[in-house]
Amino acid sequence: MKTLRTSYIVGGVRTPFVKSMGAFHHVQRIELMIASLQELRKRYHLDQMIVGDVALGAVMNSSADWNLAREAILRAGYHPHTPAYNLQRACGTGLEALVQVANKISLGQIETGIAGGVDTNSDIPLELQDSLRKFFLNLPQAKTLLDKIKTVTTLKPDSFKPRIPAVVEPQTGLSMGQHCELMVKSWGISREAQDRFAYESHQKAAKAKAAGFFDDLIIPVAGVKGDGILRADTTVEKLAKLKPAFDPENGSLTAGNSSALTDGASSVLLASEEAITRNGWKALARFVDAEAAAVNFVGGDGLLMAPTLAVSQLLKRHGLKLQDFDFYEIHEAFAGQVLCTLKAWEDATYCRDVLGRSEALGSIDPAKINVNGSSLAVGHPFAATGGRIAATLAKLLHQQGKGRGLISICTAGGMGVAAIFEV
């Protein structure tokens, strides 16, 4: 029986994360992806190397970029024999890409691999209304003038309105923010607690930036040198003045305690121990395992609660307690979503009925959660967030020299992805 190899995170880079329709309004998604990949190529001398495989994704992708990953690799200057493919698991895309590459290394299929993702709402694809799309498809089939006139009469004024993609669940018609409003009401999460959590995320990210933690993780792109969403000067009082964004009458989610629409890209290099030695690289952290889970959000489960299951199943498989980690990187789609997750793990009834446990998982030391801030402060370009979090956690563990870290990411569609890194 073939022995599994160990897969390591060698390093990661990302573009600055900036608010959509801002500094990157003129930059195409593939250009952002290329920028991150080029830096990874230069930093780790990948110019003449055939990388084993490359997994990249985008949530807000265009049919014009149907071969996004392979095109990005070629245009970024990688060896033309390097294969690449696209994938998508909503906000968990970047982490899912890393999991797939790590598993290929573990199985011995490849020795090196790259995982990453990109999203930009500034380059969002627009679609035709179905009536106009069908008109363009049917018109060439009309043989006579009468047939052509009949085809034209199918058009209505509304046919010419573009269809703009929206982050709305097709099963419910509700946005992610509206679903999170239902969650925070169900779990009794206050507006004050959400604003406090958001404030702390900005403070931690600002402190990390001042200490230079992000210096080797972020590369300048299109004249932008750093993240554009971070607000070091925000206060709880300022956040408290913002109006509800998803439920004007009774809501508690605002633009301040929700992650902003963001443009950016990230990529991570993974390798086997043999490849690391051969190329003179350093291993930042070891990929241990990962888990994906889903909930029945149409049937009443919270849309963003699936990470509670993913983490629980991962802990069971490794015989770990929730407290057995030095760092917790919990994606901050919304402050309320993180707080719901933490409260669920502390709730014995939820852990029994939903997670199938005999007792509550318990609480986490707040000082170990998102120690350098997270999506609320630095932004959330959907498919790029997993790579950002993975590179951050790997660097934290490497700096400490030992330890274990947990990643938890919620996604649209009622899914969640979790992973464990160790040094």
Annotated active-site residue in 179, 202, 331, 380: 380
Question: What distance in Å separates the CA atoms of residue 201 and residue 327, rounded to the nearest whole number?
Answer: 15
Known catalytic membership, residue 380: yes
Cβ atoms within 10 A of the Cβ of 243, count?
Answer: 9
Closest CA to 73 of 51, 92, 94: 51
Could you tell me whether strands 7-14 and 285-294 are parallel, antiparallel, or unpaired per DSSP bridges?
Answer: antiparallel
Q: Is 81 a catalytic residue?
A: no
Separation CA 328–CA 85 (nearest Å)? 29
Q: Cβ atoms within 10 A of the Cβ of 3, count? A: 6
β-strand partners of 369: 328
Catalytic residue status for 340: no
Query: End-to-end CA distance of the chain, in Å?
Result: 27
The number of angstroms, rounded, from the C-alpha of 201 to the middle of its chain's C-alpha atoms is 17
DSSP secondary structure string for all residues of 25-82: TT--HHHHHHHHHHHHHHHTT-TT---SEEEEE-SS--GGGTTHHHHHHHHTT--TT-
Counting every residue, how long is the chain? Answer: 423
Phi, psi (degrees; rounded to nearest 5) at 286: -100, 130
Q: Which residue has the tokens 């199943």?
A: 313
Let me know: does 247 contact 210? Beta carbons within 8 Å. Answer: no
Find the catalytic residue in 91, 180, 340, 351: 91
> For residue 103, what are its two tokens?
């598993």
Q: Strands (DSSP E) along 181-318, which ranges?
A: 262-272, 285-294
Residues tagged active-site: 91, 380, 410
